[in-house]
Amino acid sequence: MCGQKEKSQGSQNFSSGNRTKIGLCMCPTCFGAAINADGVASPGQAAQALIPFLRRAKARKSDFLTMATLFSKHMSAIVSAICVMEILHTTILVISVYCIVIALNRLYFHPLSKIPGPKLAALTSWYEFYFDVLQPGQYVFKIKELHKHYGKAFSLPSRPHQYVHNSDISCSLGSIIRIAPSEIHIDDLDFLDSIYPASNAHKRDKDWSQIRKLDVGMSTSGTVDHDLHRLRREALHPFFSKNTISRFEPVIQEKISHLVSYFDKAQASGKPLNLSDLYYGLARDVVFECSFGMKSTILEDEHAAASLRANMTELLLGVKITKHFHVLFEAIKLLPASVGKYFSPPAIKNMRDLSLTVQEAIREVSSKDKQAMLARTDQRSVFEHLLSSPTLPDSEKSLARLRSEGIMLMLAGTDATAKVLVTTHYHLLGNPPMLDRVRVELSSLTPSTRSAAHLQRLPYFSACINEANRLAFGLTGRNARIAPKEELSYRGYNIRPGTSMSMSTLCIHTNAHVFPDPWEFKPDRWLGAQGKALQKYQFGFGRGSRRCLGMDLANAELFLTLAAVVTGHEMELVETSEEDVRFLHDFQVAQPKLDSKGVRVSIKG
Ligand code: HEM
């Protein structure tokens, strides 16, 4: 046994009291030998003494290991936390610098920085988000208010504004404001043709950020580029031209007969009818049958019409959100149909069904002999018309392109038409003297002369429909245009090429200088020479090179349907107020109060 045991620092006692004292020599030579106080212990004793020690040593070792592991874990957590913090700091710093640079640029160095308007609107599109999403569909109303406020800056007139020429209605000062970081809005009817010119010499693109939400980018209406739009529009135009529109009258008449049968039944049963649903069903069937040459029977099922209208309203209520969160919309579209359906409103399912029907119609037409198609002059569907178009290149005749066109026609032709129908009928029911005047005028026509063309020559009846078209507001969204190459100027402000500029239908149709008492239904304003001059400011069907292509079909539908319904039966409004037709929210088209059930009537005789 080593004599160093006393010195050995690591020597330890394992027992105490009267029991044999056993120590452990920790010197390098005999490390680990068990000894008693007098000398070397027996191997058994040593082994016995060794076990707890080993246990403890093991425990210590494992303590040590645990501590080391913990330490290293903590250290790596601390290090990663520091890294994360650093990355976070750097990211925040970079983002802050980026935001500051963007903010400074937007406020002081941007080409639009000199244009008046709220700084917040110039700074961020969250301003628009607030008024359009959080205060549903209110931004166009806010813009009108902003014009009043910032228009004061233009209070010293440099020129008189003679809106209605050759009349004594005159003078309003226009104004220009910046309503988003890269968009301006002008409230000046004399500038309408500069934003929405008809001539091809003044090219106007659409603003992609405003139309992408509708997801019909390959359709005529959804086309951004001026030249491509022109190509598509020219191919589509003959299908809806005034000269050929009379071929659709039998389709419209058939739908009207169906509508009138509802009135007959309701008169017998005393049950109220929902005109908003019925007109929606009628407008949808007409545009479907006229465009696709296929039967559509939505009007035959009152509930189907109601559900389609409700779903479409719901879809429209989402357009402002999809405008700001387009990525989300795209992501949902990428999901497989079985998953996507849980995230999609019912209207998307309706759209999907419509898309499949349209696809089917296109396939059927595509399988036909091209020569035979070219030889036909009585094209049955818009797809036959487009597929046999000599001006469209093959790339424009793809399934996806035609499908987009078909869906756009359904969107463009249904809701707007139904709105004008319901608005006219509501106001006539609420103004019996006006209704009487219309009836007297209509009585001058015999059944054989009650064609759409003849009806459109009746001045007062036309004035009523014109006035309803004004109060239905057509497209209520901003419908901006971009001059890609042309530099414009408004009241000393240069509008550079590429600037998104718009004039909303709200500002045009409620301009009190042109339309005194703008929210009142006053058909007389459209009569005589002054009424003719007002036509220039009827923006319901849009303006310029992208004006509504279905205007003649829509007019045929409006005149024929209203002539039939206002003369056939006596009706009374039921639980319906002006808020059920008035433009209160902008969701691309005018929406009345959000919980409106539509215009309801009871049939009295
Ligand atoms: C009263 C009913 C209607 C109203 C108020 C109306 C209103 C409008 C408006 C304001 C535009 C211009 C959109 C823009 O500037 O981007 C437009 C475009 C269009 N509308 Fe109508 N519309 C009606 C009925 C119809 C009907 C029945 C059809 C036929 C299917 C139709 C087909 C179109 C097409 C194809 C365009 C696109 C024109 C282009 O981009 O060149 N519309 N409509």
Predicted pLDDT at 355: 85
Q: What is the mean pLDDT of each run of 10 residues along the chain (605 residues)?
A: 41 40 42 43 57 66 71 77 87 92 93 95 95 94 94 54 42 81 95 95 93 81 96 95 89 96 94 97 96 92 95 86 78 72 72 84 76 61 91 94 93 96 98 98 90 96 98 95 96 95 96 96 97 96 96 97 94 97 95 96 90
Atom of ligand 1 nearest to the CA of 539: 10
Q: Is 485 exposed, middle or buried (0-12, 13-18, 19+ CB in 10 A)?
A: exposed
Predicted pLDDT at 8: 39
Whole-Å CA distances, 178 to 110, 120, 230? 11, 10, 29
The CATH-assigned architecture of domain 206-464+571-603 is: Orthogonal Bundle (1.10)
* Structural contact between residues 205 and 546, judged by C-beta atoms closer than 8 angstroms: no
Q: Is the CB of 231 under 6 A from ligand 1?
A: no
CA distance 279 to 309: 10
Place of tokens 């037709």: 581
> What's the token pair of residue 209?
């950020």
Query: Which contiguous run of DSSP H or E holds residue 573?
Result: strand 571-574
* Chain mean position to CA 400: 21
Strand duo 22-24 + 12-13: pairing: antiparallel
* Structural contact between residues 124 and 578, judged by C-beta atoms closer than 8 angstroms: no
CA angle 581, 587, 592 (to 5 degrees): 15
* Structural contact between residues 573 and 600, judged by C-beta atoms closer than 8 angstroms: yes
Atom of ligand 1 nearest to the CA of 196: 15
Residue nearest atom 7 of ligand 1, based on CA coordinates: 541
Provide the whole-model pTM: 0.83
Within 10 angstroms of residue 482's Cβ, the number of other Cβ atoms is 22
CA distance 427 to 409: 28
CATH 1.10.630.10 domain residues, the chain = 206-464+571-603
The count of C-alpha atoms lying within 13 angstroms of the C-alpha of 592, restricted to the half-sphere facing its C-beta, is 20
Residue nearest atom 40 of ligand 1, based on CA coordinates: 221
CA distance 134 to 286: 36
CA 251–ligand 1 middle distance (angstroms) = 19
Q: What is the CA radius of gyration of the chain?
A: 38
Q: Is the CB of 422 under 6 A from ligand 1?
A: no
CA distance 217 to 214: 8
Within 10 angstroms of residue 75's Cβ, the number of other Cβ atoms is 10
Q: Is the CB of 411 under 6 A from ligand 1?
A: no
Predicted pLDDT at 369: 67
Predicted pLDDT at 72: 75
Phi first, then psi: give them for residue 367, nearest 5 degrees. Answer: -75, -10
Predicted pLDDT at 57: 62
> What's the token pair of residue 574?
């039921």
Alpha-carbon dihedral sign for residues 320, 325, 328, 330? positive
Predicted pLDDT at 167: 40
Predicted pLDDT at 347: 73
* Structural contact between residues 309 and 451, judged by C-beta atoms closer than 8 angstroms: no
CA 387–ligand 1 middle distance (angstroms) = 22
Atom of ligand 1 nearest to the CA of 540: 5
* Chain mean position to CA 404: 16
Q: Is the CB of 407 under 6 A from ligand 1?
A: no
Predicted pLDDT at 211: 81
> What's the token pair of residue 174?
């226009």
> What's the token pair of residue 575?
């639980």
Q: Is the CB of 540 under 6 A from ligand 1?
A: yes
Atom of ligand 1 nearest to the CA of 408: 35
